Chain A
Amino acid sequence: MTELSHHLPALQVVVPMLSAPLVMLLRPRGLAWAAATAASLTAFAIAIALTIGVLDGHDFSYNMGSWPAPYGIELRVDAFSALLLLVVTGASTLALLAGRSSVDAEIDPQRQPLFYTAWLLALAGLAGMSVSADAFNIFVFMEISSLASYILISGGADRRALPAVFKYLVMGTVGATCYLIGIGLIYLMTGTLNLADMELRIDQVADQSPTLVAAGFITIGLALKAAVFPLHVWLPNAYTYAPHGVTVFLAACATKVALYLLLRFDFFLFQPNLAGHDLQFAYFLMPLAVLAILIGSAVALFEHNLKRLLAYSSIAQIGYITLGASLVSLTGLTASILHIFNHALAKGTLFLAVACLATRCSGLNLSNIAGVAGRMPWTMGAFVLAGLSLIGIPGTAGFVSKWYLISAALGEGVIGGLLVAIIVVSSLMAVVYIWRMVETAYFGTAQADAVSGEAPAALLAVTWTAALANLYFGLLSWLPVTLSTSAAELLVRQVP
């Protein structure tokens, strides 16, 4: 390895974090956006370089300040974190490239530099959570990303964004504090904060009960952050009233990173060291996942606001991710990790298309988009493509992960058959709620005062790039499949 590539894990966090205060100083119009986009693109390039390295077969480990691993803070990039880094930096870059016109429409020009500063801090925090191998460092990055996302969401034009942010702030802080309690209890028993070192030392602790309590606190805390049903109540309003670009960014990756940590802690740390933890994990998460899938999809059926509808669909999709994990098997985990990637792709594209619609429609209720397809054929084309991916039609990315999920469920006997039925029912509900939007847009009667014309070209180009990525990863799925298979192997190797 060359000198520079050795530093890539640190640069992944440092580039957006140090660009953030710089962006704040750039007052001339458009410059802040350009700098933030450049920083995000650089972060994306670093994530790609890290992924190429991981695919070549070497994991990255970096000692911050050259302090050796169990004492200093270690950054570690393996297949799982590389996949997450791709999702986080990719979503941020696409949303920034697309988002300029929609940010101009929603955020006061005076405050735009501050807005982009918060954006880069959120990016730095999310990337930091993905690369850090130090439990307390993860907490700090979690809070950096959360505080920055509260700011981003409160930039929404609708005043209802404010109570939504308040709710998110309270629940997010309770979640992070629960995580902190769990880490404290483990530190109390093992005297270490490095995840790999913790894993070795928990084994030597005779009394398992503090670890059990810690596992409970960490799982609940991260489940709150990840909006696992029934801890999801902060999510719909936060996504609905956030600025459109922010919704694209956060919907694609904020909950995913918390899910990543949930899987990493439960499988890497607790499964091998707590007797019966795999069963407790499955019994706890599986019913919640099933409820999330059914209730999330059912609520989405009756929603009228596009963004809120897609937010409830996200809750159902998070259910798929936890369902795969709750099977505690190699295929189940592969499906779960794969769905983190594919859902980010599908939902990111859908929210991008919604951002396109928002530039031309007077509102985002179903009635506002009636007959819009005649005037905005490209936007609705991308919307349909991403919708198909969300449903899981063969040839799109969503199909690949559902295929893995169903084959994992089929390996589980009778319960598996039931789960497959639930997945199919929920997919049918997805067909219905996507169809409602498509039907209104294509066959509805347009309002008299409707504005004509397509969305801005830049926004449209990015939306189509993302939509085509849904097709690409549906047909040539080797990259996410390879990464999630090796990530699942990393995690499951620990299961006895």
Chain B
Amino acid sequence: MKEKSPSAKEVLIKGALIHNPILIQCAGLCPVVAAATSLKNAALLAAAVSLTTIFTCVFASALLKKIQRWIRMGIYLILGTAVIFPLIFLLESQSKSELSLVLKIFLPLIAVNSATAVHCEQFSVKNTVKLAFYDAVAVSIGSSAVLLICGAVREIIGYSSIAGHRLNIPTTFRSAALPFGCFIILGFLAAILKWISAYRYPNLVADSETIVRVKPKKDEIKDTVEVEVFDEFWNEEPEEAPLEIDEYDEIFDSLDNIFDFSGEEDEK
């Protein structure tokens, strides 16, 4: 039986939200973490990612369906390079100020962006040019949104400015401009995106999860052996379960009721 072709709306929502390349698939993280430290940098990276993805996906869908997979991978890299290097040349010749060192390193690396290759292989070569174009646009929108949000948040928190304009924020957090700060921001963005997806598009999320998740069989799950086996090393009895401490309860039970937000009854 022939599978039903997905609608354009479905492709757009899945590409941008449910399978967001950066937040959900964790593809192409390197430029986001290392280079998207300001809104300007993020905008340049977003433009580069969008151009590369759209051009490569459409080209792959139109001309590469019959070519073997191992050859296709190399062609994606050549196509990415063909888009990125003229763009860098254009930027350097047109803009008055030079590109920063970090952009000079990470902008060319977008030519070999894993998000582009993943979408070409997973979607473009299996679908029509029109759908491949919609998917590429969705991926570009999803990536660009994450890049711009990360860049803006990191610039505001880390440098107290936005797009180069100073803001009067009394305290700045240098850690936001560091890679670990970006990972924390990405973690929160991923959580928000998951929540929005599950709330707004539960059916599409459920469809995706049935494909991705493979549940282990019941008899394959083992989770209760580790402590006893290795306690023998010290010839020691396993620790007993701690006793309940009633005096803590008396003090804190009354205080707990003040902070009860759930509306649940106490489990005791």
Genuine A/B complex: no
